[in-house]
Structure 1
Amino acid sequence: MTIDVLLVGSGGREHALAHALSRSPQLGRLYAAPGNPGIAALAELVPIGVDSHDALVAFARENAIGLVVVGPEAPLVAGLADRMAEAGIPVFGPSAAAAQLEGSKGFTKDLCAEAGIPTAAYRRFTDAAAAKTHIAERGAPIVVKADGIAAGKGVVVAASVAEAEAAVDACFTGAFGSAGAEVVVEDCLVGEEASFFALSDGETAVALGAAQDHKRVGDGDTGPNTGGMGAYSPAPIVDAAMTERVMAEIIRPTVAAMAARGTPFRGVLFAGLMITANGPELIEYNVRFGDPECQVLMLRLESDLLDLLLATAEGRLAGAAPRFRADAALTVVMAAKGYPGAYEKGTPIAGLEAAGALPGVTVFQAGTALRDGVLVANGGRVLAVTALGATVGEAQARAYTAVARIDWPEGFCRGDIGWRAVLREETAG
């Protein structure tokens, strides 16, 4: 018996999920709403937006969908998983109440405080003057976060008090819309960042691997934060011992705390971690797969993704043990010039077939569209050029060879994705 799946979303993360789902022997028909031109090669596109909850529920009912997979965070925070569950449709993704782990940074910090989960000291503010007084008392470096969802751009790691005060002003003057109506100010953690993923069915949590991404727009980790300019997996700093510490000290206590509140978490927990001298500490939670981390995880995944997502949705994760290939994967994000600021849409892109023809290379599409049969850029982060290799260095070389085959003069990418892991490999070698 096969299962028809509706994948909700249109980015590089959803293209990577579609790529992995398409390998499942259990898959019947795969639909994507609204999808993108890259996803169209793997799924039937449905012209329904991620915020059109009534239409998505109706489509799932009319087409006897066996599992809805919600990719982005916004529809989860807005309650799409609740709507599907109320309609009796199996869904992968947390309820709106559980999605507050991403929807409100203050909510997550309070939960950490209650459950004894290691994280930076913090305060919550709805008043700019009070936040600035606290910043002056704590000094810099210090971190200012818009409380709500800000597309990965509502966090400022301020090197000076003045920079932190400017970040507070940006939040309270509407730079991030309603997401900045409250700010969280927290101490700056020191260490190495990693992205850690775990599946939770509300009771059981299962580790799903780690990656490291590059948030800053420029080489050498310089410039403003973005949604992510590249990533690689596995994360050298998250070995088997560290994985168990993260599960024991952060993931399992979170799952238990959410269940105790009567809002069990079902879906993927994406923990942004700082590996400090004292061990792992939580920077923030996301309640969906990372982008671009999903791209590298899905290329390495050997297990049946559909089986894992169904087990999560149906409360059957106990005993699950996801398998990954030993190879490393690395993805380079190609973005429109000007990103994360203003950028031009509609510029033509060519060479994707030549890039994807290289051994071990997959080009995932994110912000793309078809105009009169021509593939054009339609967003800030547009492509995720992803490669496998025996080492991160080998995957890096393949990915940049593929990037060189893509003809998109109005695009750019960082030239040093994976530099930290490659340096480790060279030193060890």
Structure 2
Amino acid sequence: MKILLIGSGGREHALAWKLVQSPRCEKLFIAPGNPGIAQCGENVAVDVTDHKAVVDFCRLMGVDFVVVGPEAPLVAGLVDDLATAGIKAFGPGKVAAQLEGSKSYTKELCREAGIPTAAFARFTQPGPAKDYIRGQGAPIVVKADGLAAGKGVVVAVTVAEAEAAVDMMFSGGLGAAGEEVVVEECLVGEEASFFALVDGERAVPLASAQDHKRVGDGDTGPNTGGMGAYSPAPVVTEEVATRVMREIIEPTVAAMKRRGAPFRGVLFAGLMITAEGPKLIEYNCRFGDPECEVLMPRLEGDLVDLLLATAEGRLDQVSLGWRPEAALTVVMAASGYPGKPETGTPIRGVEAAEALEGVTVFHAGTKAQPDGTLVANGGRVLAVTALGATVAEAQKRAYEGVARIDWPGGFCRKDIGWRAV
């Protein structure tokens, strides 16, 4: 079958890498893709914000199935428009994608369905938000309601810091995402990422992962989209995974069905494993980035079959397995990230890194110059991923890969996986 993959980041490179391993994948198109993803299929210059253009491309090229990688097209309703045109797609419709598109939508659903999560309040004006913060004290968490590319959450250690976050969001620092703000209690525990495929009726657990959000070693500095990840997460034991499915994922699937917006796609639960058990921090409605880069190398079986079964409501007919090895990915970012990244700097040595056993380099923000030189074209640029018998072995291999990449304009954390190691 012919498949169109939407997106251009490290997540999409990992998905493309796995999709083309399927005997069912006759041809893979990627819109817009990047130089690394181009090794897996054909990059196409289709404006993914123009849903008619996407539908027209699918009809012209005979695309049988569309896989939507990033959150913005999901929240914008691309899957609905493809369905209206009779084109199968993987990912939730516009209403179901509100689980990621609106923090307050998810918090209200948790309240309705009795899903364990942080206590919260919603605000559309800065004054009442600040009054609430002063009443609660710090530490406290301030979140922009809408999509903010991983930068809409401030874990404030002082009341003043929380008030500054409120001012920043309501003054337009995050655009429309900050027009409403959710203020939450600060949960204590260890964070983890948990993934499940959902076909509208039933949910099948995938694997766990743990990422490193802060830019600096020792989990210091500002939050980012993720500086690295590893899978599985030791904190997500079999008992914890069972509780997550029973107390968080399955009640969510049932609640979405009751609301008339059945969820179909991948449900990515950001969790805090507290002394009382797992609690939901937030939902994403797509594979994580950089978590996808550690899930795909561990996944056994046919990704096309899995995603199709999810879209067609027949997850009970497929099985999946996981390699016993651990996987770890180190994100190499451009100088200046997570502020204004320095783009256009040349990168060499990717092939040398991939020559190492068990190492794959996924491109997240790269561009090829006319002479073939690879340059940085974003904040997070490469995800150097390795498999190993343990997290420690995968970590060692990934950093050996990093050492082979010649990129003076980039940097990475030196301690990805430290909790597990």
Same fold (TM over 0.5): yes
Normalising TM by the smaller chain, what interval? over 0.9
Q: Which residue of 2 aligns with 1:239?
A: 237
- Note the 1:233-272 alignment, pairs <5 A: 233-272=231-270
- Note the 1:330-409 alignment, pairs <5 A: 330-372=328-370, 373-409=372-408
State whether residues 271 and 285 of structure 1, in contact with CA within 8 Å, keep that contact through their aligned partners in structure 2.
yes
Q: Which residue of 1 aligns with 2:34?
A: 36
The CA distance in 2 between the partners of 1:52 and 1:40, in whole Å, is 22
Aligned with 1:229 (options 220, 227, 230): 227
Aligned with 1:123 (options 118, 121, 126): 121
State whether residues 333 and 381 of structure 1, in contact with CA within 8 Å, keep that contact through their aligned partners in structure 2.
yes
Q: Which residue of 2 aligns with 1:19?
A: 17
State the 4+ residue runs in structure 1 displaced beyond 4 angstroms.
none
The CA distance in 2 between the partners of 1:34 and 1:403, in whole Å, is 26
Q: Which residue of 2 aligns with 1:411?
A: 410
The CA distance in 1 between the partners of 2:149 and 2:90, in whole Å, is 21
State whether residues 148 and 178 of structure 1, in contact with CA within 8 Å, keep that contact through their aligned partners in structure 2.
yes
Aligned with 1:71 (options 69, 72, 92): 69
Aligned partner of residue 207 in structure 1, secondary structure: strand
- Note the 1:198-237 alignment, pairs <5 A: 198-237=196-235
Give per-residue Cα distances to partners, 1:160-206, cap 9 Å, x unaligned: 00000000001001110000000000000000000000000100100
Q: What is the deviation of 1:50?
A: 2.5
| % identity of equivalent residues | 71
Q: What is the deviation of 1:52?
A: 2.3
State whether residues 206 and 320 of structure 1, in contact with CA within 8 Å, keep that contact through their aligned partners in structure 2.
no
TM-score by length of 2: 0.99
Q: Which residue of 1 aligns with 2:110?
A: 112
State whether residues 80 and 94 of structure 2, in contact with CA within 8 Å, keep that contact through their aligned partners in structure 1.
yes
Matched, 1:141 2:147: no
Q: Which residue of 1 aligns with 2:283?
A: 285
RMSD: 0.7
| Letter of the 1:390 counterpart | A
| Letter of the 2:255 counterpart | A
Q: Which residue of 2 aligns with 1:320?
A: 318
State whether residues 355 and 402 of structure 1, in contact with CA within 8 Å, keep that contact through their aligned partners in structure 2.
yes
- Note the 1:79-118 alignment, pairs <5 A: 79-118=77-116
The CA distance in 1 between the partners of 2:289 and 2:410, in whole Å, is 18
Give per-residue Cα distances to partners, 1:295-336, cap 9 Å, x unaligned: 000010012111000000000102533211000000000000
The CA distance in 2 between the partners of 1:319 and 1:215, in whole Å, is 36
Q: Which residue of 1 aligns with 2:305?
A: 307
Q: Which residue of 1 aligns with 2:43?
A: 45
Give per-residue Cα distances to partners, 1:209-246, cap 9 Å, x unaligned: 11000000000000000000000000101122111110
Give per-residue Cα distances to partners, 1:325-379, cap 9 Å, x unaligned: 0000000000001100012111110000000110000000010011122111000
The CA distance in 1 between the partners of 2:137 and 2:62, in whole Å, is 57
Q: Which residue of 1 aligns with 2:157?
A: 159
TM-score by length of 1: 0.97
Q: Which residue of 1 aligns with 2:419?
A: 420
The CA distance in 2 between the partners of 1:164 and 1:322, in whole Å, is 43
Aligned partner of residue 251 in structure 1, secondary structure: helix
Q: Which residue of 2 aligns with 1:181?
A: 179
State whether residues 347 and 407 of structure 2, in contact with CA within 8 Å, keep that contact through their aligned partners in structure 1.
yes
- Deviates further, 42-51 or 241-250: 42-51
| Letter of the 1:186 counterpart | E
Listed as ranges, the gaps of 5+ residues in structure 1 are 423-429
The CA distance in 1 between the partners of 2:339 and 2:40, in whole Å, is 32
Give per-residue Cα distances to partners, 1:358-404, cap 9 Å, x unaligned: 00000000100111221110000000000000000000000000000
Q: What is the deviation of 1:61?
A: 1.5
State whether residues 206 and 321 of structure 1, in contact with CA within 8 Å, keep that contact through their aligned partners in structure 2.
no
Give per-residue Cα distances to partners, 1:273-300, cap 9 Å, x unaligned: 0000010000000000000000000010
Q: What is the deviation of 1:127?
A: 0.5
Q: What is the deviation of 1:63?
A: 1.7
In the alignment of these two chains, the number of paired residues is 420
State whether residues 10 and 363 of structure 2, in contact with CA within 8 Å, keep that contact through their aligned partners in structure 1.
yes
The CA distance in 1 between the partners of 2:247 and 2:2, in whole Å, is 37
- Deviates further, 341-350 or 184-193: 341-350
